[in-house]
Amino acid sequence: MDDTPDPGGLPPSLSFLKWLVIVLMVTMIGGVITIVSLLVTRMPDGSAPVLPENLTLPEGARAEAVTISKDRMLVVTEDGRLLVYGRDGQFRQEIRLEE
């Protein structure tokens, strides 16, 4: 007198699909964890680079962009000049940029 249906399990095709979805979910979770960990470990600590105290721009020049390499600093000014400085802050060269 037991009227409960016999579960009998999933058909083989649905069982295979279920396992494919589980493998996909585990792969996606692993990928997201990998991407987040790479972003966290590869990002800089957020500290600004240290500029020398004696770095001075010419009169009336305003910096638009600054690029720092291991042996020089480049400053692009709003009036279209590229100023090259040494890492010690000494002026080396001025280049006029064409517009």
Contact 61, 79 (CB under 8 A): yes
The residue ranking higher by pLDDT, 32 or 9, is 32
The pLDDT of residue 36 is above 60: yes
What does the buried/exposed string (b/e) look like for 63-88 if buried means 16 or more CB atoms within 10 Å of the residue's CB?
Answer: eeeeeeeeeebebbbeeebebebeee
Q: Which of 69, 49, 85, 86 is nearest to 95 (CA)?
A: 85
From the options 3.40.50.620, 3.40.50.970, 2.40.10.360, 3.40.50.150, give the CATH code of 48-99.
2.40.10.360
**What's the pTM value of the predicted model, to 2 decimals?**
0.53
pLDDT of residue 57 exceeding 80, the answer is yes
Q: What is the dihedral of CA 53, 67, 49, 43, to 10 degrees?
A: 180
**Residue 48: its pLDDT value, please?**
72
∠86-88-93 over CA atoms, to 5°?
A: 25
Between CA 29 and CA 64 the distance in angstroms is 42
